[in-house]
Amino acid sequence: MENILQTILSRKSDQKKQFAVLIDPDNYKPSELIFLATMATKCNVDYFFIGGSLLTADNLNEAVIILKEHCSIPVVIFPGNTIQICAKADGILFLSVISGRNPEMLIGKHVIAAPILKKSKLEVIATGYMLIESGKSTTALYMSNTNPIPAEKPEIAVCTAIAGEMLGMQLIYLEAGSGAERAVPENMISKVRENISIPLIVGGGIATTDQARKTFAAGADLIVIGNAIENNVNFIEEIAHLIQSEFNSPIV
Ligand code: 1GP
């Protein structure tokens, strides 16, 4: 399989917008995952992200295996903690919560995970993960034991993202939190986009095509959608149509 980071970079340099479906394995039955894999393949979904800030059902491995058996879309672990490592996936976002000041989420968990990841064949992608205030507390915030960046302070987000890039992060991820009341503000996305050259991922609370359109238009290279697809799998088709008709259609 092609290197995941290289794929993200080359699609970005071709000015193609990208779309990841976030799977919380607690919330999908095997039959639903099989259907999702088929639907996502039909709609050219770029990546599956899988994981969560807190998983309770212990079925991450099973979910990865089902996805790998039923489609060729890259499966990328989006870990909430060090027990969410599955060697059968294709890659892992090695998340450092650079918006916070909790050393465990900046480097502590990474030290524990590093030898396991080194033995695996997983592609490890260093990701500067930034939690953005979004109206109410989210599981990600609670579990990371960090303060989010205030939504009305884009300059803090910009400086944090620049520092992340300077520290060698390969991706920056602006996160409003799963099921966020308010998605990441467009002016924050655009200001961060102007100030970094690495790919920019944005997720949390994207529940309408209009919100997805605004997020892409503001400068997100890749959007992540979880809840809205759990609630209505056909939303995948709407996002695929948006990307194809408004962003990735060939210039004639
Ligand atoms: C959360 O960014 C993702 O980590 C997706 O959030 O579930 O709100 O789409 P939603």
Domain ranges of the chain: 4-247
Please work out whether the CB of residue 226 comes within 6 Å of at least one atom of ligand 1: yes
Q: Give percent of the chain above pLDDT 90.
A: 93
Centre of ligand 1 to C-alpha 224, Å, is 6
Q: Which residues of 47-81 are buried (b: 16+ CB within 10 A; e: fewer)?
A: bbbbbbbebeeebbeebbbbbbebbebbbbbbbbb
Please work out whether the CB of residue 205 comes within 6 Å of at least one atom of ligand 1: yes
Please work out whether the CB of residue 204 comes within 6 Å of at least one atom of ligand 1: yes
Q: How confident is residue 85, by pLDDT bands cut at 50, 70 and 90?
A: very high
- pLDDT at site 191: 98
The alpha carbon dihedral of 152, 221, 240, 77 has a sign of negative
Is a pLDDT exceeding 70 seen at residue 232? yes
* pLDDT tens digits, 99-112: 999 999 999 999 99
Hey, which of 77, 143, 227, 239 would you mutate to test ligand 1's pocket, going by the most ligand atoms within 8 Å of its Cβ? 227
Q: What is the CATH number of domain 4-247?
A: 3.20.20.390
Please state, in angstroms and rounded to a whole number, the distance separating the CA atoms of residues 134 and 205.
9
Question: pTM for the complete prediction?
Answer: 0.97
Please work out whether the CB of residue 206 comes within 6 Å of at least one atom of ligand 1: yes
Mean of pLDDT values over 32-48: 98
* pLDDT tens digits, 163-172: 999 999 999 9
Please work out whether the CB of residue 51 comes within 6 Å of at least one atom of ligand 1: no
Is a pLDDT exceeding 90 seen at residue 241? yes
Q: How confident is residue 249, by pLDDT bands cut at 50, 70 and 90?
A: confident
Centre of ligand 1 to C-alpha 251, Å, is 31
Is a pLDDT exceeding 70 seen at residue 252? no
Centre of ligand 1 to C-alpha 174, Å, is 11
Count Cβ atoms below 10 Å from residue 186 Cβ, excluding itself.
17
